[in-house]
Amino acid sequence: ARAAGPTDQDIQKDAETPGDVLTYGMGLQGQRHSTLKTINTETIKKMVPVWAFSFGGEKQRGQESQPLVHDGVIYVTGSYSRLFALDARTGEKKWQYDARLPEGIMPCCDVVNRGAAILGDKVYFGTLDARLVALNKDTGKVVWNKKVADYQAGYSMTAAPIIVNGKIITGNSGGEFGVVGAVEARDAETGELVWTRPTVEGNMGTLNGKESTMTGTKNASWTGDLWQTGGGATWLGGTYDAETNSIFFGTGNPAPWNSHLRPGDNLYTSSTLAINPDNGEIKWHFQTTPHDGWDFDGVNEFISFDLKKDGKVIKAGAKADRNGYFFVIDRTNGKLQSATPFVTQTSWATGFDLKTGRPIYNDANRPPNPMDGGGAAAGQGKPIFAAPSFLGGKNWMPMAYSPDTDLFYVPANEWGMDIWNEAITYKKGAAYLGAGFTIKPLFDDYIGALRAIDPKTGKIVWEYKNPAPLWGGVLTTAGNLVFTGTPEGYLKAFDAKTGAEVWKFNTGSGIVGSPITWEMDGEQYVSIVSGWGGAVPLWGGEVAKKVKDINQGGMLWVFKLPKA
Ligand SMILES: O=C(O)c1cc(C(=O)O)c2c(n1)C(=O)C(=O)c1cc(C(=O)O)[nH]c1-2
Ligand SMILES: [Ca+2]
């Protein structure tokens, strides 16, 4: 028997039990929907902060975490691989764990961490040096600490793990360094590896010298040896659907970015994979950007939901992809139901073929081969303008789905980029892009747009425009509310049906975290982490200049209604 604490059954039921938050995604399906409605479009006008907690000084920025709540304790990760356990009623610190990171870690896009997992008496999280740590939930003492991959080869870990039937399931980061993506399952009690599923064809037999439990697959969709450093990082973690017993992981960009160096589809990069949690087998794959040439990547979360259409219910899943399309896919077999643009496009594809599930490419919008010349300097290809930018119509920040309104709430961004290709050869631990870029806004008055999307039609039902790019997660509740944060510092709440803004509070730094809500002592609470950072200030080109004044930091805020 497992020591006292949440069980596998508690984790599977997380979405139905508002007294705790046991999973990243507020339920393994990742819907980020709460059944609570004490706080609603009317009562929220009175909502106030109860307490706040500071993450401290050093390297505190890019707070992309979603807190967990169990038995009156909040478990929240901070940037730079920290984990805090806090009294949920007072904010008092119970313990803090700071991973001791080596020199030379190589996260591509800031020192972020998106959250922890909990099972029994342990809490778990991944660290920037690509290790997975299990801590005793009451004391913060290390129970086990496993190396997942070699940080000196560019591997890191930024995603929250998920737990499915006693296994802790993780992805990896490092697509910009020519790593090989993988999904891995470990025994949550001991940390021993149960299976490893590489995500790049050609690597199915071994991974990093370790024996893989998978049978070999030929590298048919790659040229030469490029599959050995092919990317496809699983850097955002996954979701799980018990009805189909599938884990869904997105995979990142193929490496290098210069697509002319790697003819072929480059499976299974820029895809969604449905994986059997028992043995790591791929049940189906859907490649959103075959032969990706824009760093469109494809890690975005896949959220299971019931698609009610033409009097039928289809077991579906949705993904708002970095490539700017909103996909609805049959989650039992990977068959495309619809693909609709949700941001402005420069027609890199004119649409998706519903029969084959493939994009209809517009070759004029693929960044040209540097061998053809025409670039600004020797060895550079001709630049083109493409939208969305490589930071995506939507990046890592998770959308939410409400079964009450049947709408998805998507944190989107409107921007494009000048992009050109360059020559590159692989060198262990060095950036492996073969491309250069500058991001540019498309409109004067806004970049971010929270969009309510009807999955039956792909139509945008309402939108909220934000001056700075949106980079935080979304939460929706039975109180007809949608919550998200802004880089300007506000946690905002909107009417889920109309998009009317009903409440806001400034948290003192930019928000790039994901909000949660739970019930405690008969009252409803809301919480968000604040602390600007992530990829935008690092890679945002003209946009980065506009947002560089935002102060960084790290704070957890907790809100509720005043006592009646
Ligand atoms: O290919 C990868 O392994 C990888 C990893 C990560 C990461 O782990 O955060 C990001 C990206 N790619 C990426 O392309 C990207 O735009 C990005 C944004 C962010 C962020 O936290 O703001 N991370 C990442
Ligand atoms: Ca990437």
> Is residue 83 scored above 90 in pLDDT?
yes
Counting from 1 in the atom list of ligand 1, the atom nearest the Cα of 114 is 21
Ligand 1 pocket test, pick from 108, 251, 294, 390 with the greatest ligand atom count within 8 Å of Cβ, gives: 108
| Boundary-marking domain end, from 235, 250, 273 | 235
User: DSSP class of residue 507?
Assistant: -
Q: Which residues are catalytic?
A: 295
The Cα–Cα gap between 428 and 412 comes to 34
Between the CA of 276 and the centroid of ligand 2 the distance, in Å, is 25
For residue 218, the one-letter residue type is: K
Same domain, 58 and 75: no
Domain of residue 94, CATH code: 2.40.128.630
Q: What is residue 19's DSSP assignment? A: T
Name the amino acid, one letter, at 327: F
Q: Is the pLDDT of residue 216 over 50?
A: no
Q: Give the atom of ligand 1 at the shortest distance from the alpha carbon of 253.
A: 1
**Is 447 in the same domain as 300?**
yes
Residue nearest atom 12 of ligand 1, based on CA coordinates: 175
Strand 474-477 with 33-34, pairing: parallel
- pTM value surpassing 0.95: yes
Tell whether 103 is covered by a domain: yes
Q: Quick check: is 252 in a domain?
A: no
381 and 447 share one domain: yes
Going from the Cα of 297 to the center of ligand 1, the distance in angstroms, rounded, reads 9
Are 358 and 339 spatial neighbours (Cβ–Cβ below 8 Å)? no
564 C-beta neighbours (distance < 10 Å), count? 5
564: pLDDT confidence band, cut at 50, 70 and 90? confident
Q: Name the least confident of 217-231, 313-327, 431-445.
A: 217-231
Ligand 1-lining residues (CB < 6 angstroms): 64, 108-110, 112, 158, 173-176, 233, 235, 252-253, 297, 391, 395-396, 534-535
Summarize pLDDT for 311-358 with one digit per residue, the tens.
999 999 999 999 999 999 999 999 999 999 999 999 899 999 999 999
Quick one: 333 and 419 in the same domain? yes
State the residue range of the domain holding 488.
31-62+473-564
Does residue 553 sit within a domain?
A: yes
Q: Which residues sit opposite 49 in a β-bridge?
A: 559
Binned at pLDDT 50, 70 and 90, residue 3 comes out as: low
Residue at which a domain ends, from 460, 494, 529: 460
pLDDT at 104 over 60: yes
Whether 215 has a pLDDT exceeding 60, the answer reads: no
Q: How far apart are CA 524 and CA 455, in angstroms?
A: 29
- CA–CA distances in Å: residue 86 to residues 94, 201, 556: 5, 43, 10
- 123 and 181, same domain (yes or no): yes
pLDDT of 563:
87
Find the 159 Cα to ligand 1 centroid distance in Å. 10
Mean pLDDT (whole number) for 13-39: 98
Centroid of ligand 1 to alpha carbon of 299 (angstroms)? 9
Are 92 and 72 in contact by the 8 Å Cβ rule? The answer is: no
Same domain, 323 and 410: yes
> Over 50: is that where the pLDDT of 295 sits?
yes
Taking the CA of 539 as reference, the closest ligand is 1
Which residues does the annotation place in the binding site for Ca(2+)?
176, 253, 295
Atom of ligand 1 nearest to the CA of 535: 22
Question: Does 330 lie in the same domain as 430?
Answer: yes
pLDDT at 129 over 60: yes
The pLDDT, as a whole number, for residue 214 is 53
Annotated binding residues for pyrroloquinoline quinone: 64, 114, 158, 395-396
Give pLDDT, residue 224.
85
Hey, which of 65, 235, 253 would you mutate to test ligand 1's pocket, going by the most ligand atoms within 8 Å of its Cβ?
235
Mean pLDDT of 244-248: 98
- Classify the C-alpha dihedral 463-466-470-474 as positive or negative: negative
CA distance 183 to 232: 11
Q: Residues 484, 545: one domain?
A: yes
Report which bound ligand comes closest to the CA of 232.
1
Say whether both 516 and 456 belong to one domain.
no
- Torsion from C-alpha of 137, 141, 142, 143, nearest 10 degrees: -60
Q: How does DSSP classify residue 422?
A: B
The answer, yes or no, to whether residue 207 has pLDDT greater than 60, is no
- The atom of ligand 1 lying closest to the CA of 471 is 22
Which residue's C-alpha comes closest to atom 13 of ligand 1?
109
Q: Is residue 133 part of a domain?
A: yes
Q: What is the pLDDT of residue 223?
A: 85
Q: Is position 25 within any domain?
A: no
User: Is residue 1's pLDDT more than 80?
Assistant: no
Average pLDDT over residues 196-215: 69
Q: Is residue 222 part of a domain?
A: no
Contact (CB, 8 A) for 252 and 297: yes
Residue nearest to ligand 1 atom 21, measured at CA: 534
In this structure, the answer to whether residues 408 and 486 fall within a common structural domain is no
Q: Mean pLDDT, to the nearest integer, of 25-34?
A: 98
Mean of the per-residue pLDDT values for the chain? 95
Residue 536 and residue 410 share a domain: no
Nearest CA to ligand 1 atom 24: 109
- Same domain for 196 and 94? yes
- % of the chain exceeding 90 in pLDDT: 91
| 159 CA: nearest ligand 1 atom | 8
251 within a domain of the structure (yes/no): no
Give per-residue pLDDT as tens, 369-393: 999 988 999 889 999 999 999 999 9
Query: For residues 207 and 142, which has the higher predicted lDDT (pLDDT)?
Result: 142
| Secondary structure (3-state) at 191 | coil
Distance between Cα 108 and ligand 1 center (Å): 6
Q: How many domains does the chain have?
A: 3
Q: Tell me the mean pLDDT in the region 485-490.
A: 98
At 209 the pLDDT is 56
The answer to whether residue 215 is domain-embedded is no
SS3 176: helix
Are 472 and 485 in contact by the 8 Å Cβ rule? The answer is yes
What's the 235 CA to ligand 1 centre distance in angstroms?
A: 7
For the cut 50, the answer to whether the pLDDT of residue 247 exceeds it is yes
Ligand nearest the Cα of residue 395 is: 1
Q: Which amino acid is at 329?
A: I
| Residue indicated by tokens 């190396």 | 147
> What separation in angstroms does the CA of 18 have from each of 242, 459, 524?
19, 30, 9
Angstrom distance (rounded) from CA 38 to CA 477? 10
Q: Residues comprising the binding site?
A: 64, 114, 158, 176, 253, 295, 395-396
Each residue's pLDDT tens digit, 144-185: 999 999 999 999 999 999 999 999 999 999 999 999 999 999
Burial class (CB within 10 angstroms; exposed 0-12, middle 13-18, buried 19+) of 45: exposed
Confidence of residue 368 (pLDDT cuts 50, 70, 90): very high
Return the ligand 1 atom nearest residue 64 CA.
21
Q: Which ligand is nearest to the CA of 108?
A: 1
Rg from Cα positions in the chain: 22
Cα 63 to averaged position of ligand 2 atoms, centre (Å): 19
Report the residue among 79, 113, 148, 396 best suited for mutation to probe ligand 1: largest number of ligand atoms under 8 A from its CB. Answer: 396
Please choose from 173, 268, 543, 547 the residue to mutate so as to test ligand 1's pocket, defined by most ligand atoms within 8 A of CB. Answer: 173
pLDDT of residue 505: 98
pLDDT at 208 over 80: no
